[in-house]
């Protein structure tokens, strides 16, 4: 009788272990699937679902198949907060999302409290990773990292020459300008002028007069194209050859329409072009708009980060996976090799430098990219 009981207990134990091993690894997917950013969210969903399908066909993560749990955050912080609470109460251990900085900032404390690792495909707001979050990892370069690259360009290309830092008086532009100033100082330089400017013609004219008086040879501009285009146009009309360096805030058709030929020679720091999803043999290609393409690759890569993090940690415990990722592990993903620093930001943000040039057909456009310093 004792032997029979022992055998029954062993069989029960084996069955329980098999059942546990068969339980899916639940990963939340929190994206704007409605609202003005739905095109970006739908593309990210496509990328995440394709990555999950391919990983599951190969056996899953440490023997567990992935199950996606989808929540629509609408690109809105309040809706993102509600989505995060649903995911936290639904037993997910990892989350891919959110895309919008406001949504990610609202949801992050919920994930941290629940012990959930979140991998953010977008969201460039710098403070997102500076608030003590130990379980958040960002696959996009931050605004701070992009601003710092602008300051590094000033330090390297205009060493010991008069330079200025200008912003468009928005929080986005001022943050870029502040980081550029810090990087310039770290590189041994210092700006002669640090000033904000709006699109107002009188402000632009006054700033151009100051640039002329100080002999400024390069301006780093933090912000969007609206004030930048009139500024570079006014500089050229005043006879200044001052180089303008901006961020991807200048990546707007209106920049060229307003600046015209004056746009030539402007430098921009840019994130790399979106990576295309790999073709699946035998599967029909889904329609892919430019908006969908923007985040399909990063969302695919976010699933890869979770898989490789778990395999590297030899565990699906979020704390162990986070520790492995914070250790600087090099991960090979669809968007290239990535590694994270102690904050959860990319150790080497993938920004490059592009220049607005006159092309062979006479058009002015940004063409080619250089390796970032």
Same-domain check for residues 286 and 308: yes
Same-domain check for residues 245 and 102: no
CATH of the domain at 248: 3.40.50.2300
368: left (phi over 0), alpha (psi -120 to 50) or beta: left
Look at the chain and report how many structural domains it folds into.
2
Same-domain check for residues 150 and 129: no
State the pLDDT at residue 40.
Answer: 93
List per-residue pLDDT tens for the chain, 373 residues long: 445 444 544 444 444 444 445 699 999 999 999 999 999 999 999 999 999 999 999 999 999 999 999 999 999 999 999 999 999 999 999 999 999 999 999 999 999 999 999 999 999 999 999 887 799 999 999 999 999 999 999 999 998 999 999 999 998 899 999 999 999 999 999 999 999 999 888 999 999 999 999 999 999 999 988 999 999 999 999 999 999 999 988 887 789 899 999 999 999 998 877 788 887 664 445 556 778 888 999 999 999 999 999 999 999 999 999 999 999 999 999 999 999 999 999 998 888 898 988 888 888 887 666 666 6
Query: Residue 40 corresponds to which tokens in the numbers above?
Result: 């970006």
Residue 90 lies in a domain: yes
State the pLDDT at residue 249.
Answer: 87
Residue 263 lies in a domain: yes
**Domain coverage including residue 184:** 144-270+351-371
Three-state DSSP at 67 gives strand
Same-domain check for residues 123 and 222: no
- Under 8 Å between Cβ of 201 and 230: yes
State the pLDDT at residue 373.
Answer: 65
Same-domain check for residues 242 and 212: yes
Q: How far is CA 321 from CA 54, 119, 350, in A?
A: 21, 12, 23
Neighbouring CB atoms inside 10 A of 13's CB total 10
Neighbouring CB atoms inside 10 A of 328's CB total 11
Same-domain check for residues 125 and 237: no
Residue 345 lies in a domain: no
Same-domain check for residues 365 and 253: yes
CA distance 193 to 163: 7
Residue 343 lies in a domain: no
Residue 216, class by beta-carbon neighbours within 10 Å (0-12 exposed, 13-18 middle, 19+ buried)?
Answer: buried
Same-domain check for residues 195 and 160: yes
Q: How far is CA 11 from the centre of its chain?
A: 49
Residue 81 lies in a domain: yes
Residue 355 lies in a domain: yes
Residue 106 lies in a domain: yes
State the pLDDT at residue 5.
Answer: 47
Three-state DSSP at 328 gives coil
Q: How far is CA 295 from CA 51, 56, 285, in A?
A: 13, 21, 17
Same-domain check for residues 135 and 20: yes
Residue 344 lies in a domain: no
State the pLDDT at residue 362.
Answer: 82
Same-domain check for residues 241 and 359: yes
State the pLDDT at residue 19.
Answer: 41
Same-domain check for residues 227 and 362: yes
Three-state DSSP at 17 gives helix
Same-domain check for residues 65 and 171: no
């Amino acid at each position: 009788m004792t032997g029979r009981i022992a055998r029954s207990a062993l069989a029960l134990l084996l069955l329980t272990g098999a059942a546990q091993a068969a339980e899916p690894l639940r990963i939340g997917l929190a994206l704007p699937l409605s609202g003005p950013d739905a095109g970006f969210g739908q593309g990210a969903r496509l990328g995440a679902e394709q990555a999950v399908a391919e990983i599951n066909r190969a056996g899953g993560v440490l023997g567990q198949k992935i199950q996606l749990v989808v929540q629509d955050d609408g690109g809105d912080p309040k809706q993102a907060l509600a989505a995060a609470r649903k995911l936290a109460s639904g037993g997910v251990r990892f989350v891919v999302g959110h895309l919008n900085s406001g949504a990610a900032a609202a949801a992050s404390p919920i994930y941290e409290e629940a012990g959930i690792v979140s991998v953010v495909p977008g969201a460039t707001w710098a403070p997102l990773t500076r608030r003590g979050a130990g379980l958040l990892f960002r696959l996009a370069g931050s605004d701070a990292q992009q601003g710092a690259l602008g300051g590094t360009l000033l330090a390297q290309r205009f060493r010991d020459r008069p330079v200025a830092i200008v912003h468009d008086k928005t929080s986005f532009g001022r943050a870029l300008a502040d980081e550029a100033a810090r990087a310039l100082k770290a590189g041994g330089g210092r700006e002669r002028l640090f000033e904000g400017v709006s699109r107002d013609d009188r402000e632009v004219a006054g700033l151009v007069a100051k640039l002329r008086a100080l002999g400024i040879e390069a301006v780093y501009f933090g912000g969007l194209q609206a004030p930048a285009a009139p500024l570079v146009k006014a500089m050229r009309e005043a006879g200044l050859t001052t180089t303008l360096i901006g961020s991807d805030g200048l990546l707007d058709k209106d920049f060229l329409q307003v600046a015209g030929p004056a746009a030539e020679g402007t430098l921009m720091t840019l994130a790399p072009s979106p990576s295309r999803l790999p073709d699946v043999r035998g599967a029909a290609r889904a329609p892919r708009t430019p908006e969908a393409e923007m985040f399909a690759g990063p969302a695919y890569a976010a699933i890869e980060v979770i898989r490789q993090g778990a395999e590297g940690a030899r565990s699906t415990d979020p704390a162990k996976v986070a520790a492995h990722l914070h250790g600087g592990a090099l991960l090979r993903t669809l968007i290239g090799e990535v590694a994270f620093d102690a904050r959860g930001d990319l150790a080497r943000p993938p920004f490059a430098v592009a220049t607005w040039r006159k092309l062979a057909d006479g058009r002015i456009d940004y063409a080619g990219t250089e390796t970032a310093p």
